[in-house]
Structure 1
Amino acid sequence: METDCKRDEPPADGGAIAALPAGTRLLHIGPHKTGTTSIQGALFEARDAMARHGVEWPATTRHPMEAVLAGCARTGMMGDTRPTEQHWERLLQQVRATGRRTSVLSSEFFADATDDATVERVVEQLGGERVHVLVTLRPLARIMPSQWQQYVQNGLRMGYEDWLRHMLRKAPYEQPNPSFWRRHRHDRLIERWARVVGTERVTVVVVDDRDREGLTRTFETLLGLPEGLLRPVPDAANRSLTLAETEMLRNLNKEFRANELPAELYSQLVRNGAVMHMKNACTPGPGDVKIGTPQWAVEAADGIGAEMAERIGAMGVRVIGDLRLLSGDRSLLPAVPKPATRTDVDPRLAPEVAAQALYGALAAAAAAPVRHTAAAKSRTVHQTSSGELVRVLGHRCLKRLRLR
């Protein structure tokens, strides 16, 4: 069954959202930290119900990250297996299998496509003129702390304020994370994709944090789905780290790098072991300190946001929502938490949180057991330095991972 996508619905700004034609392949490209995980969970959970209304979710997982990374010629997360062209080709086959039906695909890693040639290849292979690009945006001042702690989860060792200075004050603003502005210089991101598909096939959604269901309603309207079909799916593993949790991990990253441990070990024991278990097992409370952005950085981000909003507004793409949100208009935003200082509150990691992180690493190590080597048997643990013990454990786990 195919649906005729004709339903319009008034957005928050009083205009009307025109639904996309039946047979469209809606490509949500993020970028990161703009509600992507939430909408991916809702779409994946409702995939069977959407199919009954003529809308397909072609991927077999909530987020086909490996396939998209391969399609955009990008590497994976630190220590993860490098994505291959087979991942991308498998996703393309699933998209083609939807035929002439409407389909939707979402991945923030599409925003990592570096040039027009890559964007053009992705669009052509996903359906050419049938592809409609959707970009979701939030204010930079709200993205930056979330993106920093995400980089820390991928091995970053730099503190937040130092990182902000590099991103906002140290030209060419590419170190230590060149991907940041490729993703979050939103006007250039939209231009990059609009050059390939045309401005008439680009929709920009400005996410309003005051309206928790606004993004799902927008997707429902664009796809011609009944209101309420898409519902948020709780995902503790996607929550942001607190300041104390991030600082604990950042210091662990320093030790990890200082001991020259293999990246595969980081993926197995740290990111997918300690951090993942800690996030699933521990819910931050009112006493936990959030990552606070200093005022100078908020003002700098708001200035860039205002410039981006002006350029986006002049592009001719369809905009849903209020672009003034991107400029940090405080009358339109919920209050930004003030950064905690050492005299205000000292962010300390609760013992139970540290215990859960340690347990997560041990559980991940136990999932990849290795036999003792002859060299390890020749000395007791107490006769071996801590640094050497860490290296031995790392190489053993790496050996086991490669065997698996």
Structure 2
Amino acid sequence: MNAGLAPLPAGTRLLHIGPHKTGTTAVQGALFAAKDVLPGHGVVFPAHTRHPMEAALAACARPAMMGDTAPTEQHWTRLLDQVRAAGRRTSVISSEFFADAEDDETIARIVAQLGGDRVHVLVTLRPLARVMPSQWQQYVQNGLRMGYEEWLEHMLRRPPYQEPNPSFWRRHRHDRLVERWARAVGPGRVTVVVVDDRDRGALMRTFETLLGLPANLLQPVPDSANRSLTLAETEMLRSLNKEFRSNDLPAELYSRLVRNGAVVHMKNSCSPSPLDVRIATPGWAVEAAAEAGAEAAGRIAASGVRVVGDLRLLSAVPKPAPAVPGEARVAPEVAAQALYGALAAAASAPVRHTAPAKSRTVHQTSSKELVKVLGHRCLRRLRRR
């Protein structure tokens, strides 16, 4: 895969823009784990965390995930200061949220602030047919209430393909993504890496080659919190999203108790088994994704950017997973871990009942109203903290 690939010049600022679901978390985890040894090889990973998401969102003028603290210009400025502190050493910045930059002016500003002609853009790509189920369940983790097949209908059959998630095609119309960034830095400073799922280590080796690092320095870091949800887990969360929205609860509560409480604890505590039903993409959607991938591959090949890997993979039709008999159901222990995660998150910011007693008892109050009261009390507590 890396035959003939040479290291980038010393002092390059390698900007890995994703997009989502193309191995970004694995790369970020490996770079962050090697953060202390990278400078010995002339490379710096300028970030205090594995993924400088807030900085990338601020740079692209994009909102935070549902209920999260809004990113500020300070996040982006802090990352820029760390990049400049790298001096003449090579630095690598990685966030899939850079793929959300939607216009040439924003991209040109990001490139200029990172060093102009020192910037080299790296895009990692996977076939759309593999990206779509992962992106749908990720959107559900951010509050989406739409089922998978209906979501596919909107994304693939209902022009202008913007609802309910306009970010999907901004990220995953891969030829246009590459073209936007190539206009800012020139085709000669864009590398497209086609991820081959049959060779799990190839992506790490490509980063090592481009950064001039010794072989096998970058190693995958186990991260169960980044695993995809099963169909049953996603449907459970989607049902919860409906209840959450219908009760008009604050988004901050969703961020803390659901996404960063119930979901994270469930992922960390429960590993899917071969008997769990996975998210299956219908044949018509797989074919539509393959057509879009073939068109994107052709335009990328003609764009003049450097390509590492086989562009034909972008239009590959994956073999369907073996059918699992039975209905998609959440195991009791999985539901229990999700509930415990929410309770643990709530317990970390306990609610103090300081208000005077009301004339009605709990039993005289509807469950819907009780949920609203609890939600707003938790929110007040979070704001005080």
* Fold agreement, TM-score > 0.5: yes
Correspondence for 2:372: 391
Aligned with 1:372 (options 325, 346, 353)? 353
Correspondence for 1:270: 258
Q: Distance in 2 between the 1:401 and 1:45 partners?
A: 31
Q: What is the Cα deviation at residue 372 of structure 1?
A: 1.4
Aligned with 2:20 (options 18, 27, 32)? 32
Q: What is the Cα deviation at residue 304 of structure 1?
A: 0.3
Contact kept? 1:220, 1:227, Cα under 8 Å: yes
Correspondence for 1:350: 331
Q: What is the Cα deviation at residue 376 of structure 1?
A: 5.3
Amino acid at match of 2:302: A
Aligned with 1:145 (options 133, 146, 152)? 133
Correspondence for 2:321: 337
- Say whether 1:382 aligns with 2:363: yes
Contact kept? 1:309, 1:326, Cα under 8 Å: yes
Deviations 1:318-372 (A, max 9, x none): 00000000011x5xx6x342576xxx42000000000000001111111111221
Aligned with 1:121 (options 102, 105, 109)? 109
Secondary structure of 1:77's counterpart equals coil
Aligned with 1:23 (options 5, 11, 25)? 11
Correspondence for 1:171: 159
Q: What is the Cα deviation at residue 49 of structure 1?
A: 1.4
Correspondence for 1:46: 34
Amino acid at match of 1:394: G
Correspondence for 1:188: 176
Q: What is the Cα deviation at residue 383 of structure 1?
A: 2.1
Q: Distance in 1 between the 2:356 and 2:169 partners?
A: 48
Q: How does 1:230-241 map to 2 (within 5 A)?
A: 230-241=218-229
Q: Distance in 1 between the 2:361 and 2:348 partners?
A: 24
Cα RMSD over matched residues? 1.2
Q: What is the Cα deviation at residue 24 of structure 1?
A: 0.5
Contact kept? 1:242, 1:291, Cα under 8 Å: yes
Contact kept? 1:140, 1:302, Cα under 8 Å: yes
Q: How does 1:155-166 map to 2 (within 5 A)?
A: 155-166=143-154
Secondary structure of 1:48's counterpart equals coil
Contact kept? 1:291, 1:339, Cα under 8 Å: no
Correspondence for 1:318: 306
Amino acid at match of 2:66: M
Q: Distance in 1 between the 2:276 and 2:357 partners?
A: 42
Aligned with 2:343 (options 340, 351, 362)? 362
Q: What is the Cα deviation at residue 381 of structure 1?
A: 2.4
Q: Distance in 2 between the 1:376 and 1:87 partners?
A: 43
Correspondence for 2:216: 228
- Say whether 1:279 aligns with 2:267: yes
TM-score (norm 2): 0.98
Aligned with 1:197 (options 178, 181, 185)? 185
Secondary structure of 2:192's counterpart equals strand
Contact kept? 1:137, 1:205, Cα under 8 Å: yes
Secondary structure of 2:36's counterpart equals helix
Secondary structure of 1:209's counterpart equals coil
Amino acid at match of 1:148: W
- Say whether 1:304 aligns with 2:288: no
- Say whether 1:57 aligns with 2:42: no
Q: What is the aligned-residue identity percentage?
A: 76
Secondary structure of 2:41's counterpart equals coil
TM-score (norm 1): 0.93
Secondary structure of 2:193's counterpart equals strand
Correspondence for 2:242: 254
Secondary structure of 2:62's counterpart equals coil
Contact kept? 1:293, 1:339, Cα under 8 Å: no
Unaligned regions of 5+ residues in structure 1, if any?
Answer: 1-9
- Say whether 1:245 aligns with 2:226: no
- Say whether 1:402 aligns with 2:380: no
Correspondence for 2:57: 69
